[in-house]
Amino acid sequence: MYAVLGDTGRGSEGRPNAGFIVTGAGVVVIDALASPRQGEALLRTIRRVTRQPVRWLVLTHHHPDHHFGAIVFRKAGARVIAHPDTRVLAAEAGPDALVADWVRVMGVEAMRGFEFANVPDRPVTGSDTLRLGGRTLVITHPGAGHSAGDLMVWLPKERVLFAGDLLIEDGVTMVVDGSARALQHGLAVIDSLAPRIAVPGHGAIPARPTELVARTRAYITGLQADMRAAVEKGVPMLRALATLPPPDETRPVSLNSRRRRNAARVYVEEERAYMGLEDSLP
Ligand SMILES: [Zn+2]
């Protein structure tokens, strides 16, 4: 079992993490990285370890930095396991605009050969157990905390969790595509698993998974309390956000942008809950 780490210390802006599991009957890859070029680099890394065929690609969610390399694995023969709900804010303007934006981020060369390959052959909306070559992977939808299509990959025997972007190195998980309430549920699920190792979606693997979960929970709980207090006092959203540093328009997932965009999302969530329009938990 291998974690392939992207960049550390760069929050959600760095290259994401990926992983792969070599079984006696083929390889399972977890996430495909942000472009065909990055996908190819990941496949080369796998090939340095094993000649086993790549059987499955599991996508932890449908943000472009986690699946835009998926076509490489499909062409290598993998079938895709993912949540069928592929909606993300970044694709609001349509798939062509999403790809055009992403080409600007990654560069034309890195995106050469790109095709969408994130629609699952094996959709997971609850929990699904994949047994392959003596390994067991439990793939679970923990609710729409980070995005509608979140999945986590749990290896019960090894007690290793691939958490996707539910966990981020700096503890500031983005909820603008999901919800703080569902993220709280997801964090509780992680605690109940008590992983020995938890691989976050971005950044270093924490020495103690419980500490990163606790840090994430403290951040999101504090934000919920602040926004709830603002709603109850009738403070308008813009004033409630005034204490936060401004977002960087060109860096939508920088720390400042994440904090501010999360605050806006959670304000709306708390306002809906206050008005009795609470969305039901997943
Ligand atoms: Zn993400």
The alpha carbon of 165 and the centre of ligand 1 are apart by a number of angstroms equal to 5
Greatest alpha-carbon pair distance for the chain in Å reads 62
The alpha carbon of 232 and the centre of ligand 1 are apart by a number of angstroms equal to 31
CA distance 142 to 116: 24
| pLDDT tops 60 at residue 147 | yes
- Find tokens 């986590």 and name the residue: 152
The alpha carbon of 120 and the centre of ligand 1 are apart by a number of angstroms equal to 17
Q: How many Cβ atoms from other residues are within 10 Å of residue 269's Cβ?
A: 23
The alpha carbon of 66 and the centre of ligand 1 are apart by a number of angstroms equal to 7
Q: Three-state SS across 8-44?
A: CCCHHHCCCCEEEEEECCEEEEECCCCCHHHHHHHHH
CA distance 260 to 241: 7
Residue 72: its pLDDT value, please?
98
CA distance 61 to 133: 25
Annotate 179-207 with b (16+ C-beta within 10 A) or e (fewer): bbbbbbbbbebbeebebebbbbbbbebbe
> Tens digit of pLDDT for each residue in 205-237?
999 999 999 999 999 999 999 999 999 999 999
CA distance 93 to 91: 5
The alpha carbon of 146 and the centre of ligand 1 are apart by a number of angstroms equal to 7
The alpha carbon of 233 and the centre of ligand 1 are apart by a number of angstroms equal to 33
| pLDDT tops 50 at residue 59 | yes
> Tens digit of pLDDT for each residue in 154-186?
999 999 999 999 999 999 999 999 999 999 999
Q: At what angle do helices 255-274 and 209-232 cross, to 10 degrees?
A: 50
pLDDT band for position 15 (cuts 50, 70, 90) = confident
The alpha carbon of 159 and the centre of ligand 1 are apart by a number of angstroms equal to 23
Bridge-based pairing state of the strands 122-123 and 79-82: parallel
Residue from 178, 206, 191 nearest 268 by CA: 178
The alpha carbon of 172 and the centre of ligand 1 are apart by a number of angstroms equal to 12
Report helix, strand or coil for 153. Answer: strand
| pLDDT tops 60 at residue 282 | no
CA distance 212 to 218: 10
| pLDDT tops 60 at residue 143 | yes
The alpha carbon of 145 and the centre of ligand 1 are apart by a number of angstroms equal to 10
26 with 52: CB under 8 angstroms?
Answer: yes
Report helix, strand or coil for 150. Answer: coil
The alpha carbon of 45 and the centre of ligand 1 are apart by a number of angstroms equal to 23
pTM of the model: 0.95
Handedness of CA 44, 49, 55, 61 (dihedral sign): negative
Q: What is the mean pLDDT of the chain?
A: 94
Handedness of CA 54, 12, 119, 145 (dihedral sign): positive
pLDDT band for position 279 (cuts 50, 70, 90) = low
Using only C-alpha atoms, what is the Rg of the chain? 19
Mean pLDDT, residues 44-52 taken together: 97
Residue 278: its pLDDT value, please?
67
pLDDT band for position 42 (cuts 50, 70, 90) = very high
CA distance 270 to 272: 5
Mean pLDDT, residues 70-97 taken together: 94
pLDDT band for position 1 (cuts 50, 70, 90) = confident
CA distance 240 to 277: 21
Share of the chain above pLDDT 90, in %: 85
Mean pLDDT, residues 81-92 taken together: 92
